[in-house]
Chain A
Amino acid sequence: MPRATLLDPQGEAVERALHALGFGEVGRVRMGKHLMLDVQAGSREEALARAREMCDRLLANPVIEDYDLAVEGGGGRGAT
């Protein structure tokens, strides 16, 4: 997600389009990326810690982006 202080022209374009369609209740729109990773891990905490490392090294650029992480599932061959 672009950092809150930075201009997000894609989000603004979507916001204008929603208003044009009559969705006046929409406030600010921010547009980012959603990545889904299948991860083998012994626990949710381990999956989260590894994913955080991936974000910090490659998946997000802290200069221009913020990110959130969520672990879903668990079971099968390990947490996913």
Chain B
Amino acid sequence: MLTTFLVTLKTLIRDRSVLIWAVAFPLVLSTLFVAMFSNLDELQKLDPIAVVIVEDANYTNAETFAETIDALASEDTDPDAEDGEPLLAPSYVANTDAALTALAEGSYEGFLQVDTESMPHYTMDARRVQSLGFGNPSQSVMQSILDRYVQDTGLLTTLAAENPALFANPAFIQSLTDGSASTPTERISVTANPPSDSQRYYYAVLAFSTIMMTTFALAAIDRVLGNTSPLGARRSLGGQSKLRMLAPTLAAAWLLGFACVLVGFLYLQLVFNIDFGGKEAATVLTLAVSVLAATLLGALLGALPVPLAVKSGLVAPISCGLSLFAGLYGPFSQNLGDWVARELPWLSACNPVRQVADAFFALYYYDGYAQLVPCLVSLLIFSLVFFVASVLIIRRQRYASL
């Protein structure tokens, strides 16, 4: 059995066409996906807003506003913040003319100046308003900052006028300085890791790669069966039972497939820093179970009494077809897959590629493993079904024709 195991490994490793489809193709596809979607999450982020501050006497007198601007221009030290980048990137000029000149250069979103009553005013570059319209996020952010400042200043002024004793209370002063008084809500994350649009693509491509591992078992089983090739016929006539032939053959196909997806996983994680939720052991287990399902699907395809070229030709359409519902091909594919999962959950459960992708999602978004287990169970059920179906074909010792 060891000899059969080693020979199967050698023959698969030395088979260029098998290696291209099972190893090179998924790696190339992963690289293309990373190249295409790596900036997807960046598009969701807001770069620091470049503004000009008119640093005149009014601004100097408006100490609270100046401190607010300084705070927004410094790196965020809040541990709950998604990143430490500042909200504003201010440049200071002496007067309004200089601010207008700076704005005319086109490098700034607008300029801020403070009037004699310490009220801030924001002037936007008209060209940006026209070109970006209402969807300009920096405009919304600036409006929100200034509204909040004016609102809070007005509130405190009113409180100081109507209830000056309040300001003698140290607890109230403390709440003002640590921000708890003005922050009635607390930011929490409902997922273990922050949502990311690009993750769907990477998980789908890894799931697709996993199902492509059917190629190994398909090629290996084709060389075992008496009615599929002269080589298989000769091996069938040897002095070894089917079990002694098939067990090491499938084990070798699984091992090689597992090694390949492991390389793909490490490639995505180490080279492109794709996040799998920090659960490496569970991820590797998921890959192992996924490849088991793929291997046994390959065994079933390999056992079909048709020429190898026909069987091999089935792998790509099956993998690509199933990947459609795992969201491999973009928003349409993702929406379709989600719709099927919502409306026809049993159909979604019958898609091993979707189950593999969902398993990666479960690892990334959920704290525990409760969401992962159903995916793995589904994949194991697939494996069992494929195994039984292939054994029913493979177990035959004799054939009506060759």
B is a partner of A: no
